[in-house]
Amino acid sequence: MLSALANSFKIPDLKKRLLVTLALIAVYRIGCYVPTPGIDGAALAQFFNQVSKSQGGALFGIINMFSGGAMERLTIFALGIMPYISSSIILQLLTAVIPALEKIAKEGKAGHEKINQFTRYGTVILSLIQSFFIALWLESLGRGGGMSDMPMIVLQTGWGFRILTVLTLTTGTIFIMWLGEQIQEKGIGNGISLVITAGIVSRIPAAIHQLFTLMFASKGAGTTIELWKLPIMLFFLVAVVFSVILVTQGQRKIPVQYARRIVGRKVFGGQSTYIPLKVDTSGVIAIIFAQSIILFPATLASFIPNPTFQRFAEGMARGHILYSSVYALLIIFFCYFYTAIVFNPLDLSENMKKYGGFIPGIRPGASTAEYLDYIMTRITLAGALFIAFIAIFPDFIMAWLKVPYLVASFFGGTGILIIVGVMLDTVKQIESHLLMHHYEGFVKGARIKGRR
């Protein structure tokens, strides 16, 4: 593996792409420390320290993870890439239900570029809306906003601050989107995914520091972590990463036979291939949907001074049995929902029939569509159950080993799925360049497969 990594810098084109990728990621990480004008950083840190101990900290923790810690510092990249992700998901869902968008998506490269343009417009609109409400929310904190024991976070309230915040945060998100596109075109690829991964990985040093601080803290200082828990956590980390790799790359291969056709003097078809049906079609999208549904109302309820809303927020707090049960059921539902949106067995069977393909033992047409739908339903159940387990596993680790959620979050959930998937895709990209120039790949005698 080390020799393959060293060979990567011997190929001029690959070396240039790697250096461009690293430089752009460095620019992104520097921007995560540039503060938004008009904010009292000390007061903001005090607020997030209080929120992290309440039920509302779960939603802020997720947003902070995707922004690479920029949210808790409210830097120019505080919105992160979440507006782009939301816009992409919305466009993908709309493409499946609006015939005009579906027609555009099937126009090849031109249609793909047009859908990307719509995604960019959607990103700008979502960024403007989110940044405006963040500005209003920041003005309401501190004196006169329900937290009278805190100093004002906004130094000077008014429309000047709101407009400046909207322009700053929206421009920051657009710049991150541009960085991702540059990594995609001039770097190693997987631009937006690498930006998200860089933000998540940047939280690892803080998690390790917090872990060892609690391990070597004196017993009278408060919460401590016993030394015997470290090998157990290491074992679980390796097991989770290994299982995520297996399920991410897991496929059910459906054999397809193409009939032999004679056109003029040429013979077409007569070959065997297969349709790879992924075990985990939805990836992290099901978790993102489920987190949005379950955390947003619970977070709002935690800020409403009413006993009924407070009891609801406590019941839906992370680690509670009700939260875990509803969260797992939502993930399973959204796994099936997203798979039904992106996988159309009827279109697939019609395309196979059009080109003379058939599944051995299955009639072409409607019977093939029913067979593919039956297989996809079964393997999606296995993938959905695994994703649901991985999503709630950090809560189990946090409750059993008594570790902070920042540490437990790397034992499952959205972060580990994104890191493993993006790393597999990136290594596959690098390995394809190495094999093209007749170098050995990262694993001798085998090729690394990405998620796609």
Q: Is the pTM of this model over 0.85?
A: no
pLDDT given at position 450:
58
Same domain, 150 and 282: no
Same domain, 244 and 346: yes
Rounded CA gap, 129 and 117, in Å?
Answer: 19
Would 35 be classed as within a structural domain? Answer: yes
User: What's the distance, CA 377 to chain centroid?
Assistant: 23
Is the alpha carbon torsion for 45, 308, 413, 25 positive or negative? negative
Same domain, 198 and 226: no
pLDDT given at position 146:
46
User: What's the distance, CA 8 to chain centroid?
Assistant: 27
Query: Which one-letter amino acid corresponds to residue 306?
Result: N
pLDDT given at position 301:
56
Q: Which residues of the chain have pLDDT under 50?
A: 55-56, 144-148
Same domain, 157 and 243: no
24 contacts 179 by C-beta, under 8 angstroms: yes
pLDDT given at position 429:
82
Would 437 be classed as within a structural domain? Answer: no
pLDDT given at position 233:
86
Would 210 be classed as within a structural domain? Answer: no
pLDDT given at position 208:
82
Would 167 be classed as within a structural domain? Answer: yes
pLDDT given at position 187:
86
Neighbours of 293 (CB within 10 A): 15
Same domain, 272 and 394: yes
DSSP for 299-323?
HHHHTS--HHHHHHHHHTSTT-HHH
Q: Which of 135, 169, 202 is the last residue of a domain?
A: 202
pLDDT given at position 312:
58
CATH number at residue 145: 1.10.3370.10
Would 433 be classed as within a structural domain? Answer: no
Total domains present in the chain? 2
User: What's the distance, CA 216 to chain centroid?
Assistant: 33
pLDDT given at position 173:
92
pLDDT given at position 145:
46
Nearest CA among 402, 406, 411 for reference residue 228: 402
Same domain, 291 and 195: no
Domain that holds residue 353: 220-411
Would 141 be classed as within a structural domain? Answer: yes
Same domain, 279 and 319: yes
276 contacts 268 by C-beta, under 8 angstroms: no
Same domain, 162 and 231: no
pLDDT given at position 85:
82
DSSP for 388-431?
HHHHHHHHHHHHHH---HHHHGGGSHHHHHHHHHHHHHHHHHHH
Nearest CA among 340, 228, 220 for reference residue 282: 340
Same domain, 226 and 195: no
Q: HSE-up of 271 (CA within 13 Å, CB side)?
A: 6
Same domain, 181 and 263: no
Same domain, 103 and 231: no
